[in-house]
C-alpha cells in the first residue's frame, strides 16, 4: 500500500513521539529535529513509497542525532509484561473453544491491538468473541492440509505472547514454523529479545528480517530471511506494517500469504473496505 496524505500526519506524529522519548527535556533540540523531519517529508516523493519505507529514515535519523537507538525499549517491556499477565485468561478461552485453530487465530489477531499507534486502547480479552470483517479461513484450512513449512512474520512486542498460541497449535499438528521478527529497533515492533522473552525460541526457530523496518520490504531483507520466505509453503504475516509492505512487493508466491491483523488505521481500513478496528484474516492470493 502506497502512502496516502493521511499517512504523513501519522508519520509526523510518530516522529514527534520518538523525539520526545529520545530527548524528553531539551525543547530546542526537539524543535531542531522536528524541522529536519519536516524537511525530509518536503523533499521526499512520499506518494511513491509505502508507509514502512517512509518512516524508517525518520527513525534512523533521530537515532543518529540523539544516540538513542531504541527509545521504545521501556514501552516494549511493558507490553511484554502486560501480555504475559493475560496468558492464563487466553488459555481458558482456548481450552473452552469448539475449534482450537479458529480460537488460536483469533488470539493471535487480537494481540495486534498491543500497539503504540493511536486508537488501540482496547480491553483485548473482551475482543476475543468479536467476528472478523474479512475471514478467509476456509482457504487457509485448505492450504494448511498440504503444507509443511510455515513462515510466521511477527509484529509488535507483547504480541509475541499471543502469536505463541497459534504457533504451538500449528506445531502440535506437525508443521515446521520459522518465526521472523525485526532486525533492529523499529518503534514498538518485536525483536529477538522479545521473542526470547516469550520463549518462542524454545519451541521453534526464530530469525530476523535482517532490517529495521516495520514490515517486509524485500530489497532490504537478509539472505537468510529471503531463503526462508522462498522455502515456506505458507506465510502468516501479522500486523499493519507487514500488510503495507507485502501488498506492494512483487515477490513470487503471493498466493501463499495470509494477512492477520486488526485494521486500526483508518487508511488501511478504507483500503480493505472494513470498519476501523476490525479483525482481518486475508488471503493475499485474492485481489485486493
The domain 73-283 having CATH identifier 3.40.630.10: the answer here is no
pLDDT above 50 (res 119): no
- DSSP character at residue 188: T
Q: E strands along 86-214, which residues?
A: 132-135, 149-153, 176-181, 205-208
Whole-angstrom Cα Rg for the chain: 18
- For the chain, domain boundaries: 5-66, 73-283
Whole-angstrom Cα distance, residue 142 to residue 140?
Answer: 5
Please say whether the dihedral angle defined by the alpha carbons of residues 85, 89, 90 and 92, taken in this order, is positive or negative.
Answer: positive
Percent of the chain with pLDDT over 90: 91
The mean pLDDT value for 202-209 works out to 98
φ, ψ at 28 (rounded to 5°): -60, -40
| Helix or strand holding residue 166 (H, E) | helix 159-172
| Helix or strand holding residue 117 (H, E) | none
Whole-angstrom Cα distance, residue 176 to residue 152?
Answer: 10
Say if CB 109 and CB 102 are below 8 A apart: no
* pLDDT at position 44: 92
CA angle 38, 244, 138 (to 5 degrees): 160
For residue range 40-82, list pLDDT tens digits in order: 999 999 999 999 999 999 999 999 999 999 999 999 999 999 9
Q: How confident is the model at residue 125 (pLDDT cuts 50, 70, 90)?
A: confident
Amino acid at each position: 500500500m502506497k502512502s496516502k496524505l493521511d499517512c504523513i500526519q501519522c508519520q509526523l506524529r510518530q516522529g514527534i513521539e520518538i523525539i520526545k522519548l529520545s530527548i524528553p527535556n531539551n525543547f530546542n533540540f526537539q524543535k531542531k529535529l522536528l524541522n529536519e523531519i519536516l524537511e525530509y517529508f518536503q523533499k521526499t516523493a512520499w506518494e511513491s513509497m509505502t508507509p514502512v519505507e517512509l518512516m524508517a529514515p525518520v527513525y534512523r535519523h533521530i537515532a543518529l542525532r540523539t544516540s538513542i537507538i531504541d527509545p521504545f525499549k521501556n514501552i516494549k517491556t511493558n507490553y511484554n509484561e502486560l501480555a504475559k499477565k493475560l496468558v492464563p485468561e487466553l488459555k481458558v478461552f482456548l481450552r473452552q473453544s469448539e475449534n482450537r485453530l479458529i480460537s488460536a487465530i483469533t488470539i493471535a489477531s487480537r494481540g495486534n491491538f498491543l500497539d503504540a499507534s493511536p486508537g488501540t486502547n482496547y480491553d483485548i480479552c473482551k475482543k476475543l468473541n468479536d467476528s472478523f470483517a474479512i475471514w478467509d479461513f476456509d482457504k487457509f484450512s485448505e492450504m494448511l492440509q498440504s503444507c509443511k513449512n510455515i513462515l510466521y512474520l511477527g509484529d509488535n512486542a507483547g504480541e509475541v505472547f499471543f502469536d505463541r498460541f497459534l504457533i504451538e497449535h500449528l506445531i502440535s499438528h506437525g508443521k515446521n514454523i520459522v518465526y521472523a521478527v525485526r532486525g533492529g529497533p523499529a518503534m514498538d515492533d518485536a525483536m529477538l529479545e522479545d521473542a526470547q522473552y516469550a520463549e518462542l525460541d524454545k519451541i521453534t526457530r526464530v530469525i530476523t528480517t535482517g532490517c529495521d523496518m516495520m514490515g517486509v520490504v524485500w530489497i532490504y531483507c537478509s539472505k537468510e530471511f529471503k531463503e526462508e520466505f522462498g522455502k515456506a509453503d505458507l506465510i502468516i504475516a501479522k500486523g499493519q506494517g507487514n500488510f503495507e509492505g507485502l501488498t506492494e512487493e512483487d515477490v513470487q508466491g503471493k498466493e501463499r500469504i495470509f494477512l492477520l491483523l486488526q485494521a486500526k488505521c483508518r487508511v488501511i481500513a478504507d483500503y480493505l473496505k472494513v470498519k476501523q478496528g476490525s479483525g482481518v484474516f486475508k488471503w493475499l492470493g485474492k485481489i485486493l
